[in-house]
Structure 1
Amino acid sequence: MLMSAPPNLPPPDQLLQRAEEILKELEKGPWPSHVAELRKTQYPLRVYGVGLAARKSPWGPGAVKVAYVNTGVLSRWARDWVPGGGVEVHFRVFHTPGKFWKTDFIRKITKISRELGVGLIEVVGQTGAFVLNLTPDKAEEMVDALRSIGTDVGGSGDAIRALNACVGPALCEFALFDTLKWYAEFHKDKRVNDNIATPNYPYKFKIKISGCPLDCARANRADIGFIGVWEGAPEVDQAKFRELVERGVVDPVKLAANCPSGAIRWDAEKKELVIDGSKCKKSMHCIRTAFPAIKPGKNRKVAVVIGGGVKGRYGPKLGWFIGYLRPDQVKEAIDLTFKVIAPWEAEAQPKYRLGDYILVTGLDKFIEKAGIKLEGMPESIAKTPDDVPYAVLPKEERDMYLKLVEELKGKVGV
């Protein structure tokens, strides 16, 4: 569907002049400018500038076919109101676990980009993907070149998209399981790679792996996400914590007040931090504030969430929690992924993300269809009329909001 031209659009020459003025403004200042760097490449910067001047995306969807590549080619064409037109084509390319690159690989990929592409590489975009811009007439050469250096075109279209995992235990002290191993094991599975290469799903499907609840890989926004968590309360080294308090590094009263679930209490008389594990929501605010005096608990698990996504028929949504795996159960995680995919692939309407299909089907019914059984699954059948399956809020908070609604209804006479 073509996007209509913005209202009151100036004549083409004035629009181009305004676009160039904006681009020059973005090159000013002591900081590095993305516009100055883009000028060194063959990227259609003029189209980008026109979009800024018009305050509307200048790009529309396009299609570029590449022989022997069923998925992975993404293209955008300038809208018909953009003077001079333009095209932007790119591949998603397989990342290495943790996005660690050897210098030799960097030299090779840079050479490919300069000789066969536009000289522009996006290493970690919004989705965590590795994107390589190219010129359409050399697309097939680029595919061969990528494969010759040990990588390949990643997933796009209605397929499994390029996987994303945080750096995990390689650099992060908060990592609760080996995200790099999980990423590698997923990529080694033939089912995963077959469904990256061949689009046969109702819509795109994203798999993301985060080592802790800080969720740097944004697993909570994936069709299936795996997030490292722990059971109960965080561990507190009271001696180290008191030291931080005495040095003025941590305000214990403020730390307790900022706990989103009210699980933390500061005992000023004993100078001890008390955390109620039954209330802890694993926000990690206290851990970030007072690490290493406060650390995640030792009983580590991997929480599984499904149905997340920014775009879809019913708008953005976070994933539903459906249970836990152990950190050593990566094979089971891969099998679970395809259990989740099966009913959606068989029944969902075109362009329905997994989360959209779950909303239509109902989470209870979906789990039944997929045959999912995990540790810690929320109750799938309400035990009493007061219970709500898969409720986000505990019963006490639900009752509080229901009482508030009744009070407001009484005030407005409903």
Structure 2
Amino acid sequence: MDEKKTPLLDELEKGDWPSFVTEIKRAAAKNASAADLLAQLETSYENKEGYWKHGGIVGVKGYGGGVVGRYSSQPEKFPHVREFHTFRVNQPAGFFYTAEKLRQVAAIWDQYGSGLFNLHGSTGDCILLGTTTENLQPCYDALTECGFDLGGSGSAMRTLSCCVGQARCEKACIDSMNIIRELTLHYQDAIHRPAWPYKFKIKVSACPNDCAAASARSDLAVIGTWRDVLEMDQDAVREAVDGGFDIFNRVIRKCPTEALEWDSGKRELKITAEDCVHCMHCINMMPKALHIGRERGATLLIGGKAPVVKGAMIGWVLVPFIKMEPPYTEFKDLVDKITDWWADHGKNRERVGELIERMGLSAFLEAVGLEPLPQMVHAPRSNPYIFWKAEEVGSHG
């Protein structure tokens, strides 16, 4: 391909970190759409104006989701990105690929698209950037033959994702990868056929360290935790302290609820179990001495999202503890109740957390059949007046 000068984009290659510009240039050397992408992007930097039109959802046979339509607003100037649709390919749980499979996907995308990848998008998918409408179906057919399915896009359940969990992490409280596989198979229709007010994301982190960032990036976050007391190896604690570990400043003072205490006389670390919120800090600081408990399950959070209609929201507790064991019937039933209520009452492009904020937590809990719990309090009450229904209060005769 003819090399076009891109002085503004070249500046983005001068830092210490790898640059997406470098990768586009590599693709542009053999792909016309990547070359026009580079030229259009340079023009956007020159004129301080974006040149993409959102094309809504374009699809393949039987699928309403999984392909994001995108068109250039300057097709005469950049004809090879006149259409630049994006495939969202459902990634394997925990992002485990074989080199052979990645080579197969790369070969398919070199044949039908721009050759540009994004591993991975914020939803989790393997993102294939840039193809034409006529190449959508043959590309999808080739991906299916290779063993891959499309993820979610549009107003659907988005591709479910998780951390590596028990595959590599000793702190895992639940089998995050099995959960994602089971839910992905169960919710195929919701993933591929958009039918809701807006997107709905489920992410799973196997422990409270939340390596999948589920609490901030998903409408329903599953965070692995334990219900009993964390386990302590007092000999290992003493060994760390005798070795110079500053247990007071690095652990005791950092406990958010002051649940830990160092008994210097007995040379023991003590915990007030009811005050522990399972934040993982002490375990992260002393992994040899402190371990997760044995009664394991998950906490469910509701309402996390990035800003669109309203500002960014962090998920708040919906279910303090649930046993996440196959076939996850209790969890699936709750998801169905949540999405049914949201589908009935949500406005266009209104996320479920925004709907709860608009209609009130009490209405939501009543609809999904959950009892109010102290852990569900998202923020302290700002209204000093308390109202209740007459049937909720006993007789005062």
Q: TM-score range by the shorter chain?
A: 0.7 to 0.9
Is the counterpart of residue 119 in structure 1 residue 112 in structure 2? no
How far the C-alpha of 1:52 sits from its partner, in A, is: 5.0
Q: What's the counterpart of residue 178 of structure 1?
A: 175
Q: Could you tell me which residue of structure 2 aligns to residue 205 of structure 1?
A: 200
Structure 2 contact 53–73 (Cα < 8 Å) conserved: yes
Structure 1 residue 107, shift from structure 2 partner: 2.0
State the SS of the aligned residue for 2:116.
strand
Structure 2 residue 166 is matched with structure 1 residue 169 = yes
Aligned equivalents of 2:364 and 2:232: distance in 1?
Answer: 40
Q: Which letter does structure 1 place at the counterpart of 2:9?
A: L
Relative distance call for 1:79 and 1:280 in structure 2 (3 A) is: farther
Contact between 2:57 and 2:69, CA under 8 Å: does it hold in 1?
yes
Shift of 1:299: 1.7
Q: 1:245 to 1:105 in 2, by over 3 A?
A: same
C-alpha distance in structure 2 between counterparts of 1:166 and 1:345, whole Å: 29
Whole-Å separation in 1 of the counterparts to 2:272 and 2:195: 47
Contact 1:250–1:290 under 8 Å retained in 2? no
What is the TM-score with the length of structure 2 in the denominator?
0.83
How far apart, CA to CA, are the structure 2 residues paired with 1:150 and 1:60? 31
Residue of structure 2 aligned with 1:284, choices 280, 285, 293? 280
Tell me the residue number matched to 1:40.
26
Change (3 A) 1:248 1:83: farther
Deviation at 1:219, TM superposition (A): 2.0
Distance 1:241 1:316 in 2: 40
Identity of aligned residues (%): 33
Give the count of matched residue pairs: 365
The structural deviation recorded for 1:176 is: 0.6
**Structure 2 counterpart of 1:10:** none
Return closer, same or farther for 1:312/1:37 CA change in 2, 3 Å cut-off. Answer: closer
**Matched position secondary structure for 1:121:** strand
Which region of structure 1 is more displaced relative to structure 2, 220-229 or 157-166? 220-229
Answering whether residue 314 of structure 2 is matched by residue 318 of structure 1, we say: yes
What secondary structure is seen at the aligned counterpart in 1 of 2:350?
coil
Corresponding position: 1:149 with 2:142: no
* Greater mean deviation of Cα atoms: 362-371 or 65-74: 65-74
1:157-203 CA distance string (max 9 Å, x none) = 011111111111001121111011111111221xx101111111011
Q: Partners in 1 of 2:127 and 2:206 — Cα distance?
A: 24
CA deviation string 1:6-62 (max 9, x = no partner): xxxxxxxxxx97xx3332223236754332122112431334445556667654422
**2:255 aligned with 1:259:** yes
Segment drifting more, 174-183 vs 23-32: 23-32
Which residue in the other structure is 1:8 paired with? none
User: What residue in structure 2 maps to residue 138 of structure 1?
Assistant: 135
Cα shift at 1:328: 1.2
Please give the alpha-carbon distance, in whole angstroms, between the structure 2 residues aligned to 1:262 and 1:48. Answer: 52
CA shift for structure 1 position 218: 2.2
1:123 CA displacement: 2.0
8 Å contact 1:179–1:211 — kept in the other structure?
yes
**Runs of 5+ in structure 1 lacking a partner?**
1-15, 380-388, 399-414
The answer to which of 167-176 and 44-53 deviates more is 44-53
Q: Do residues 61 (structure 1) and 64 (structure 2) align?
A: no
- Correspondence 1:9-408 to 2 at 5 A: 20-28=6-14, 32-41=18-27, 42-43=33-34, 44-51=37-44, 59-63=52-56, 65-68=58-61, 69-78=63-72, 86=81, 88-136=84-132, 137-189=134-186, 192-220=187-215, 221-323=217-319, 324-328=321-325, 330-372=328-370, 378=373, 390-392=376-378
* Letter of the 2:21 counterpart: V
Write the letter of the residue equivalent to 2:368.
A
- Aligned pair in 2 of structure 1 residues 56, 315: CA closer, same or farther (>3 Å)? farther
Contact 1:176 1:300 in 2 (8 A): yes
CA distance in 1, matches of 2:17, 2:243: 36
3-state DSSP of counterpart to 1:303: strand
* In structure 2, distance between residues paired with 1:313 and 1:29: 34
Query: Shift in Å at residue 367 of structure 1?
Result: 1.4
Instruction: Calculate the aligned-residue CA RMSD, in Å.
Output: 2.8
Report the TM-score when normalising by structure 1: 0.80
